[in-house]
A and B are shown apart, each in its own frame.
Chain A
Amino acid sequence: MPDRPDPTRVVADADVLVADLLVGEAAREALDRLRGHSWTTLVASDALLDDTEAVVATLANADLAAAHREKLAAWTERVDHPDGDHPGLASAYRSGAAHLLSFDPSLTSADAGAAIQSHVSLSVRTPDAFARLFDPETLWPSVGDGEYPGRDRDPRA
């Protein structure tokens, strides 16, 4: 795994991926930042996609869950981790992602953040906090030349 986290690599835990689809609001706003910039990478393990599909099937239906998984599989970069690991945390840790998005207070609290930071340099944020703080224009000089070109991809395509 990489020595330093990459600020353009992001993991969204299953609750955020499901909320993006079924709720919208902050989760969709956060993930639109990534959908709209081709030089960012959303990372997910198969276990993370399994959890996401299962929750969508529970709250909506299996057909929508399968279509959503297919879309996510095409968008995300796959990462492996041991069975039994927390899919969100392990996907972030194993892929060198700098950000993990979650609604789970056991991950996003200050105490949890300190405990996680003692092991790995990873920022765990709620989607609304990520949408406020993740600034593609600030990151652009580390990935491209010239002025920030703005969004380079339709986030709803």
Chain B
Amino acid sequence: MSWDDLFERAGAYDVTVADVTDATESLRDDA
């Protein structure tokens, strides 16, 4: 699968950088 294919699949999700940083912080806080 190419990067373009992955990015096309990922385009179905409405995600912001803030969502990503919050989720990453939460994951590592819980670890």
Contacts and interface: CB of A to CB of B under 8 A. Distances in A.
A129 interface: no
Contacts of B24: 13-15, 18, 51, 55, 104
B1 A103 contact: no
B27 A22 contact: no
B4 A59 contact: no
A19 interface: yes
Nearest to A35: B3
Interface in A119-157: 155-157
B6 A71 contact: yes
Interface in B14-30: 15-17, 19-21, 23-25, 27-28
Nearest to B15: A22
Interface string A1-40: 0000000000001110011011111011000000100000
Contacts of B13: 22, 59-60
A68 interface: yes
Interface of A: 13-15, 18-19, 21-25, 27-28, 35, 51, 54-55, 58-60, 64, 67-68, 70-71, 103-104, 155-157
